[in-house]
Structure 1
């Protein structure tokens, strides 16, 4: 299969067409005599349009049967090819930046067509004050601007409590409640099918993380757990890490795979509150307690 993704692999196109088909094993263990050198996934030449993030859950078998003709090309060069071929109508189309299948519709209105409204409160994370009402916590994502009626200054979604329906908001886009430096994934999907040798040997590995296809790669340290999940410790806190999104790992130009984020470490805001509490004077435990009235 040939696709238009901006990505590349460790195999040449000729290898794809010449290889023999080997049906997947139906037994628990692989046949060691049929094990072939794994195909690796690398970032495309156009780093601004690189799409390995979206391919990070691809299986080894699928990757082995895929070629990427745009691997060594930039988007600008592809547009020149299209122009020379007379595809002017394609060049005039705007690039899809959001959820392409819903078009230009408002996301909140779109999602409320399928999920029943569950109104709740916008709550200030700083002082617990109720700032307004929302139509459902599931219409909001961490880091986005919260549309709160009657508020002149912008507020941003910092956290959500799906039990109470409260959505916590902060008064700045870089509120410390939005920044974390630790996350855990579910069982990690390695494109190579096995964790890197370095990680297996030492249980830790230095690499880079991306949880959004448009964010820069962030240095991190990965720890492998016995259940196949990984803990990721970032060199510096990043904004709006969100459970349910995918943590994609890179080693140099290679995309190693990804895992769904299932747990987050404390925010910088929480850690700061903890430090402030530690600096508070201790309570006087010798103070006389007033007995409760007896009925």
Structure 2
């Protein structure tokens, strides 16, 4: 068996704190480590700066401090085709996408993985994610790299010890949510050096090893690889705004329009006068649960639905309005980390577990119902505020992340159900088909 010094690990470096400490820990364990910076976006931000250049420089400095080789690789085309085009398409369909999950799936744990294994001769890859797996590091190096044929089902006679994706010890920083679409093959060849650590301890390690340049960096909260920017102005460079109304969900009254705001905002972006531009809101950027700023109204109204055909945004007069609460959703075909649905779900067609659709929201008890096409219905124990089409429903059993599915459909809101009961009573036997329901989401 090879010693640690004979094991080559390629570590993805973002220029930030977490990936820098991940590379450091691998080096301390005696592995042969190579650092790689991925450039996936090459357009300057609104201030004329390309943040990727600064990130690359910081990643290179980490390699200099550690005395390890440094490589840079570009996936600009791949990121556009696999991630950014998806983001634009989802917005045009009226959904709210989560590109970071697909960035991990297609870029870091696909293109980068194969580059590390095939071009750099790596035995394994590593990232700075706060996550764990069910295998020890030594087991990672015993995995054989096999190109498997693409298909819906694996060979039933193939003996496999599926690797589980487990939550990081630091529950606040746990990033399994963003890893919920990666493949079993990628997980088998990946080490997460920070999985057993807390963020505070990672900062302490960085300080002790003079990584001052990454300690001083503000933690990134922007879209994967695109970074922090004025997203509304940014997205208007790619999607055409469409006028529409703010419509009350209670009585269909038009409360205002977002046409003037959009046109003004568009002109300011194209005219490079962003400093004078007002807040720009296009119908496709409104997401369920957020406050809708309606001109001339003092009271706060909140987005509860959108009409893709007309561009209308449906709003309600309170942040806890019943139109914001639902207990049912349907996903697309679920991606299971272990490649196939859990045995309990296959046998019973139903299974209890937990889920979340936002990174740091508390886990919510739910029941999954398996459909023939591999999608699931998710019924929550209690109505959830602002369930959002386009987001990923990520499923958990204990500390295991089972996988995820994109939310495509929502069940009726409490408001719709209340309306149905009221009209049923008043109509005294009027068929249920006459009951008004909210627009399709």
Same fold (TM over 0.5): yes
Task: State how far apart, in whole Å, the 1-side matches of 2:152 and 2:332 are.
Answer: 22
User: What does residue 211 of structure 1 align with?
Assistant: 357
1:80 corresponds, among 180, 204, 229, to: 204
| Structure having greater relative contact order (Cα 8 Å, sep ≥ 6) | 1
Task: State how far apart, in whole Å, the 1-side matches of 2:151 and 2:375 are.
Answer: 24
Task: State how far apart, in whole Å, the 2-side matches of 1:49 and 1:194 are.
Answer: 27
Task: Report runs of 4+ in structure 1 exceeding 6 Å deviation.
Answer: 26-29
User: What does residue 102 of structure 2 align with?
Assistant: none
Task: State how far apart, in whole Å, the 1-side matches of 2:298 and 2:389 are.
Answer: 30
- How many residue pairs are counted as aligned between the two chains? 284
Answering whether residue 323 of structure 2 is matched by residue 199 of structure 1, we say no
CA contact (8 A) 2:131 2:166 kept: yes
User: What does residue 370 of structure 2 align with?
Assistant: 224
User: What does residue 293 of structure 1 align with?
Assistant: none
Distance apart, 1:32 and its partner CA: 5.3
Distance apart, 1:94 and its partner CA: 2.2
TM-score, normalised to structure 1's length? 0.90
Distance apart, 1:24 and its partner CA: 1.3
Distance apart, 1:27 and its partner CA: 7.9
Distance apart, 1:283 and its partner CA: 9.1
1:271 corresponds, among 407, 417, 420, to: 417
Distance apart, 1:157 and its partner CA: 0.8
Relative to structure 1, is the Cα distance of residues 173 and 29 closer, same or farther in structure 2, using a 3 angstrom cutoff?
closer
Deviations 1:226-259 (A, max 9, x none): 1111111000011111111111110111000001
Task: State how far apart, in whole Å, the 1-side matches of 2:371 and 2:412 are.
Answer: 20
Task: State how far apart, in whole Å, the 1-side matches of 2:354 and 2:238 are.
Answer: 37
CA contact (8 A) 1:102 1:110 kept: no
Distance apart, 1:33 and its partner CA: 5.8
Task: State how far apart, in whole Å, the 1-side matches of 2:153 and 2:347 are.
Answer: 22
Answering whether residue 290 of structure 2 is matched by residue 144 of structure 1, we say yes
Distance apart, 1:186 and its partner CA: 0.9
**What is the Cα-based RMSD across aligned positions, in Å?**
2.0
Deviations 1:3-61 (A, max 9, x none): 10000000011111122222314688645564320000000000101100111001111
Distance apart, 1:218 and its partner CA: 0.1
1:50 corresponds, among 154, 165, 174, to: 174
2:191 corresponds, among 61, 67, 91, to: 67
Distance apart, 1:154 and its partner CA: 1.6
Relative to structure 1, is the Cα distance of residues 8 and 89 closer, same or farther in structure 2, using a 3 angstrom cutoff?
same
Distance apart, 1:208 and its partner CA: 0.2
Task: State how far apart, in whole Å, the 2-side matches of 1:102 and 1:16 are.
Answer: 31
Relative to structure 1, is the Cα distance of residues 85 and 121 closer, same or farther in structure 2, using a 3 angstrom cutoff?
same
CA contact (8 A) 2:140 2:188 kept: yes
Distance apart, 1:127 and its partner CA: 2.2
Task: State how far apart, in whole Å, the 2-side matches of 1:176 and 1:125 are.
Answer: 10
TM-score, normalised to structure 2's length? 0.61
CA contact (8 A) 1:25 1:31 kept: no
Task: State how far apart, in whole Å, the 2-side matches of 1:108 and 1:26 are.
Answer: 38
CA contact (8 A) 1:2 1:66 kept: yes
Task: State how far apart, in whole Å, the 1-side matches of 2:319 and 2:246 are.
Answer: 16
Deviations 1:79-123 (A, max 9, x none): 111111122232222222343555553322221121111011011
